Amino acid sequence: MAKKFLSGNEAFAEGIRLARPQVISAYPITPQTIVVERLSEMVEDGSLQSEFIHVESEHSALSCAMGASAVGARAFTATSSQGLLYMAECLTYASGGRFPIVMMNANRSTALPWNIYGDQRDSLSQLDCGWIQAYAENAQESLDLALMSYFVAEHPEVSTPFMANLDGFVLTHTYEMVDVPTPDQADAFLPAYQTENKLDLEHPRNLAFSAGPDHNTAFKYKEHLGLLNAQKAVAEAEARFVEIFGRQYTGLTENYRTADADYILITLGSIAGLARETVDRLRKQGERVGLLRLRYMRPFPGAEIAEAVKHAKAVAVLEKDISFGNEGTVYTNVNSALLKAGLSMPSSNYIGGLGGKNISQTEIEGIFRDLKQETVRIQFLGIGGEDE
């Protein structure tokens, strides 16, 4: 294992190189471009044996990846923001076809106004498309997630495409020291891609066909089960990962000082690092606060959320997203989990970071102060006042 100074994009590209995809379909868009640039360099210098296809659009990029997966090839593509939205038609084709494609999405604000900086409205708008969705916190997790995403997506009980999300610029373009596994280690972790869900002249079958209401319902139910089964596959991947690489991950969520916390902040992505520092700072002042980081949004970790916060007096969701006319999408999902578990503590929603706007430690401390009031509020950070 070697140490390298890498951005989140470069770390993810290293992870994809180690996963050995046979087909890479690429269309550049800021802030994702560096991923496919580095992969093209790896193909050029021979450190990655793969067919690199530069297509004419994001729609074509995912279409190409589906074609590759349909003939039994491990496939990769990447996108961001408007590019992901342009792919939207293909997202449900990939999930409904049970093609275990891995796609990296560099989280970026969506238009209008036009903005290249990072929030999470692009991926969170596509939660219902049938893809596994994970959110990395740092460059090391980005690399590791690139490897684990194939293990999970290709698991025979899952066979579902995987969207790995990295916060634009604050993670994709920030450099950190990263442990890069050897190819032998990666090969020991990730088995060669095998699937029966492919075109085969020796064993003809029909893929991507039409179906009437009865059969359609059956296929959608199986698709749903595949996503639910991803939780077990994540656990298997992480157990195998710690055995080979020595790094431990915690499943669909990560609990930080929640066991005795009265007030818990729930968030996802790179902002969790600052939130963790804020928890430590307030703990030194005698405040019983904690952090619950959502590592995956699909499958949704409802039971884990309820278990982590069941003794809290109040919780807040901090997210870089808004479902216009309602509330944050993450907040909606969290409240559903609390209701199903029979929990009735106050929960509040803080919407920040839209268009890349900075979220400060002072603002996170303010959220914890608000939680002590044990009321419900929906508030935009940096705007002032509550949205009623």
For residues 14 and 186, give the distance between their C-alpha atoms in angstroms, rounded to a whole number.
11
> What is the residue whose two structure tokens read 């069941």?
310
Q: For residue range 115-141, what is the model confidence (pLDDT) as tens digits? A: 999 999 999 999 999 999 999 999 999
In a shared domain, residues 217 and 312: no
CATH number of the domain enclosing 324: 3.40.50.920
3-state secondary structure at position 306: helix
| Statement: residue 86 has pLDDT above 60 | yes
Domain annotation covers residue 338: yes
Looking at 245, 279, 307, the residue that finishes a domain is 245
pLDDT for 144: 98
For residues 267 and 101, give the distance between their C-alpha atoms in angstroms, rounded to a whole number.
26
pLDDT for 214: 87
Domain annotation covers residue 388: no
pLDDT for 388: 40
3-state secondary structure at position 174: coil
Pick from 327, 318, 329, 314: which is nearest to 376 by CA? 314
In a shared domain, residues 66 and 157: yes
| Statement: residue 211 has pLDDT above 80 | yes
pLDDT for 382: 87
For residues 19 and 174, give the distance between their C-alpha atoms in angstroms, rounded to a whole number.
23
Question: How many percent of the chain have pLDDT more than 90?
Answer: 93
Q: For residue range 138-185, what is the model confidence (pLDDT) as tens digits? A: 999 999 999 999 999 999 999 999 999 999 999 999 999 999 999 999
Task: Report residue 253's pLDDT band, with 50, 70 and 90 as the boundaries.
Answer: very high
For residues 234 and 152, give the distance between their C-alpha atoms in angstroms, rounded to a whole number.
6
In a shared domain, residues 72 and 196: yes
Q: Mean pLDDT over residues 347-358, rounded?
A: 97
In a shared domain, residues 229 and 313: no
Domain annotation covers residue 387: no
In a shared domain, residues 272 and 368: yes
Task: Report residue 196's pLDDT band, with 50, 70 and 90 as the boundaries.
Answer: confident
Estimate to the nearest angstrom the gap between the alpha carbon of 157 and the chain centroid.
Answer: 20
In a shared domain, residues 66 and 188: yes
pLDDT for 76: 98
In a shared domain, residues 217 and 291: no
- Give the tokens for residue 167: 């916060």
Looking at 196, 214, 245, the residue that finishes a domain is 245
pLDDT for 202: 83
- 276 within 8 A of 266, measured Cβ to Cβ: no
Q: For residue range 272-284, what is the model confidence (pLDDT) as tens digits? A: 999 999 999 999 9
| Statement: residue 3 has pLDDT above 60 | yes
CATH number of the domain enclosing 216: 3.40.50.970
Domain annotation covers residue 170: yes
In a shared domain, residues 152 and 190: yes
In a shared domain, residues 278 and 208: no
Q: What is the mean pLDDT of the chain?
A: 96
Domain annotation covers residue 133: yes
pLDDT for 384: 62
- 73 within 8 A of 47, measured Cβ to Cβ: no
Domain, as residue range, for 315: 253-380
Q: For residue range 360-381, what is the model confidence (pLDDT) as tens digits? A: 999 999 999 999 999 999 999 9
Q: How many domains does the chain have?
A: 2
In a shared domain, residues 219 and 303: no
Q: For residue range 7-19, what is the model confidence (pLDDT) as tens digits? A: 999 999 999 999 9
Rg of the Cα atoms in the chain: 21
pLDDT for 14: 98
Looking at 218, 245, 272, the residue that finishes a domain is 245
In a shared domain, residues 219 and 132: yes
Domain annotation covers residue 385: no
pLDDT for 162: 98
pLDDT for 387: 45
In a shared domain, residues 330 and 222: no
Domain annotation covers residue 95: yes
| Statement: residue 355 has pLDDT above 60 | yes
Domain annotation covers residue 219: yes
